């Protein structure tokens, strides 16, 4: 009688997961943390005036004449039938997990070892700042997902196809319609791909796919505000940036523009000039954003007259990201460790009452709930990426960009653009640093990439 020599083969599902066990565990733990966050802080973190402007635009979709393009409000509008900001928070937590999954997948696709790829997702999945960000009715979580997805499409294959470039262009256009800082980011991506000589067809497809949605939105904006633009605040933002160094004795602006010269108003951060009642812009008649073109004209003159002062101010504020102890900037903000205990009431504003009627009748001030909030309050002091670690990650990304420019140059350049761009056009904000982290981790992890085996 012949012996049974059959060998049990592993199931396809089991073998597929065998190489991803560490990341699977990390993803499950990150999901559990987000459940704890939703239980600990209800219903959502709502900021005056950003959150309510986004929610109002979701009910009445139209281009905003101030800082906010419509991309994030379109997501809120898709969720409008449920009339629940808590559902918005849940969706944003899923988006955070999805971003981590995309990050891991593109690293494994780039032949990065499983453990290294899993570790690269840890800051995004476990930093308490991302947990807080995802609870807020703000555009940042969607923006991060779109940027990481756009990079993943570009990096998925060694040879960039026209179809992939087109998809990436659409994703970066969506990112620009979510946060306008992605406009120069799109130009940076096109430039890096041109330097890498991926071919004029993919570069052209990416540029065209990115430009067409933005042009369509600018045309819609023109119908409402009378000018072809994406935002009505770019000039105001850049003017505020120059208020930290502008010297009108050196700039010598013409009389019409000279009205925007610095006066005796003193604030603790460049962005505060936008809102300071006594700032020169806000002393002009009418709404501050009605003077956007005038503000831009002043800012350009100031930068051309004082380029070294401008660069020094941008460098000084960018360096705040690398401090060990988070520095409040502006002083009224909480840079980290923002989970607390209590109840935070909403201000008495007509727009808030309108949004409560039209979007979610259950909108109320944020409330902490024990014991879940107690866990997060303790957790946040451990789970925070300190500034020197971010600097080390960026340096690793630079090393990867030198060793493997074909793979790592693009994400590293984008991470620098995300870090410096907001400071260059307005001011430093710790919230603006968070999109840098997953992209910088993507570039840094490519230091350990190895040639793929057949």
- Residue 14 in any domain: the answer is no
CA angle 403, 408, 413 (to 5 degrees): 115
* 108 and 167 assigned to the same domain: yes
Question: Which residue is associated with the tokens 């930290």?
Answer: 244
Alpha-carbon distance of 302 to 213, in angstroms, equals: 32
Q: Which of 245, 373, 226 is nearest to 304 (CA)?
A: 245
* 139 and 238 assigned to the same domain: no
Mean pLDDT of the chain: 93
Could you give the percent of the chain with pLDDT greater than 70?
95
* 242 and 225 assigned to the same domain: no
Alpha-carbon distance of 178 to 99, in angstroms, equals: 16
Q: Kindly tell me the burial class for residue 171, based on how many C-beta atoms sit within 10 Å of its own C-beta (0-12, 13-18, 19 or more).
A: buried
**Is residue 15 over pLDDT 70?**
no
* 206 and 81 assigned to the same domain: yes
**Is residue 411 over pLDDT 70?**
yes
Instruction: Please say whether the beta carbons of 433 and 275 come within 8 A.
Output: no
* 29 and 156 assigned to the same domain: yes
Window from 5-14, 43-52, 90-99, 216-225 with minimum mean pLDDT? 5-14
Start-to-end CA span in the chain (Å): 41
Alpha-carbon distance of 163 to 147, in angstroms, equals: 17
**What pLDDT does 6 receive?**
53
> For residue 257, what are the CA distances in angstroms to 4, 41, 116, 276, 281?
92, 47, 54, 19, 10
**Which run of H or E residues covers position 324?**
none
Backbone angles phi, psi at 186, to 5 degrees: -60, -40
Alpha-carbon distance of 335 to 349, in angstroms, equals: 26
* 302 and 385 assigned to the same domain: no
**What pLDDT does 359 receive?**
97
* 121 and 223 assigned to the same domain: yes
**What pLDDT does 451 receive?**
60
User: 443 CB contacts (<8 Å, ≥6 apart)?
Assistant: 396, 397, 400, 401, 408, 411, 412, 415
pLDDT digits (tens, 9 = 90+) for 55-86: 999 999 999 888 899 999 999 999 999 999 99
* 93 and 132 assigned to the same domain: yes
- Residue 2 in any domain: the answer is no
* 254 and 112 assigned to the same domain: no
**What pLDDT does 1 receive?**
43
pLDDT digits (tens, 9 = 90+) for 424-453: 999 999 999 999 999 999 999 999 987 654
* 146 and 216 assigned to the same domain: yes
- Residue 239 in any domain: the answer is yes
Alpha-carbon distance of 367 to 343, in angstroms, equals: 4
Total structural domains in the chain? 2
Question: Which residue is associated with the tokens 């943390």?
Answer: 33
Residue 49 banded pLDDT, cuts 50, 70, 90? confident
* 252 and 360 assigned to the same domain: no
- Of 257, 284, 319, the one marking the end of a domain is 319
- What pairs with residue 367 in β-bridges? 42, 343
pLDDT digits (tens, 9 = 90+) for 120-134: 999 999 999 999 999
- Of 291, 319, 347, the one marking the end of a domain is 319
Segment 133-150 shows an average pLDDT of 98
- Of 283, 298, 319, the one marking the end of a domain is 319
Show the tokens assigned to 342. Answer: 């209590």
Question: Which residue is associated with the tokens 């009715």?
Answer: 137
* 209 and 239 assigned to the same domain: no
Window from 11-15, 16-20, 214-218 with minimum mean pLDDT? 11-15
Residues of the domain holding 254: 234-319
**What pLDDT does 450 receive?**
75
**Is residue 385 over pLDDT 50?**
yes
- Residue 131 in any domain: the answer is yes
Alpha-carbon distance of 318 to 327, in angstroms, equals: 12
């Amino acid at each position: 009688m012949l012996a049974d020599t059959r060998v049990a083969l592993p199931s396809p599902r089991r073998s597929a997961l065998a190489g991803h066990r560490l990341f699977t565990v990390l993803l499950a733990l990150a999901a559990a943390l987000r459940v704890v966050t939703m239980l600990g802080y209800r219903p959502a973190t709502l900021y005056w005036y950003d959150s309510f402007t986004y929610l109002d635009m979701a009910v009445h979709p139209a281009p905003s004449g101030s800082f906010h393009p419509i991309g994030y409000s379109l997501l809120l509008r898709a969720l409008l039938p449920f009339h629940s900001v808590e559902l918005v928070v849940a969706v944003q937590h899923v988006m955070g997990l999805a971003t981590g999954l995309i990050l891991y997948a593109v690293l494994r696709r780039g032949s990065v070892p499983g453990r290294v790829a899993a570790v690269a997702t840890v800051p995004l999945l476990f930093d308490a700042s991302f947990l807080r960000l995802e609870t807020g009715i703000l555009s940042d979580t969607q923006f991060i997902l779109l940027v990481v997805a756009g990079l993943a499409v570009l990096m998925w294959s060694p040879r960039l196809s026209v179809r992939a470039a087109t998809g990436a262009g659409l994703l970066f256009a969506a990112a620009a319609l979510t946060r306008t800082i992605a406009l120069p980011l799109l130009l940076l991506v096109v430039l890096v791909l041109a330097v890498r000589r991926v071919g004029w067809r993919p570069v052209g497809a990416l540029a065209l796919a990115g430009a067409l949605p933005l042009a369509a939105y600018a045309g819609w904006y023109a119908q409402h505000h009378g000018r072809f633009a994406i935002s009505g605040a770019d000039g105001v933002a850049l003017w505020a940036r120059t208020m930290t160094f502008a010297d009108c004795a050196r700039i010598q602006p013409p009389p019409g523009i000279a009205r925007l010269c610095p006066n005796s108003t003193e604030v603790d951060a460049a962005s505060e000039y936008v809102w300071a009642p006594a700032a020169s812009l806000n002393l002009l008649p009418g709404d501050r954003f009605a003077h956007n073109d005038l503000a831009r004209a002043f800012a350009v003159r100031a930068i051309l007259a004082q380029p070294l002062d401008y660069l020094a101010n941008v460098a000084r504020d960018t360096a705040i990201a690398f401090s060990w102890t988070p520095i409040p900037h502006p002083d009224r903000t909480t840079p980290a460790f923002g989970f607390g205990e209590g109840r935070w009431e909403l201000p008495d504003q007509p727009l808030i009452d309108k949004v409560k009627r039209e979007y979610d009748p259950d909108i109320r001030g944020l409330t902490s709930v024990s014991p879940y909030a107690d866990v997060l309050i303790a957790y946040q002091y451990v789970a925070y990426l300190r500034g020197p670690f971010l600097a080390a990650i960026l340096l690793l990304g630079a090393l990867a960009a030198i060793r493997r420019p074909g793979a790592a140059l693009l994400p590293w350049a984008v991470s620098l653009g995300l870090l410096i761009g907001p400071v260059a056009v307005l001011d430093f904000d710790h919230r603006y640093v968070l999109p840098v982290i997953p992209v910088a981790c993507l570039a840094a992890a490519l230091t350990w990439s190895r040639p793929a085996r057949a």
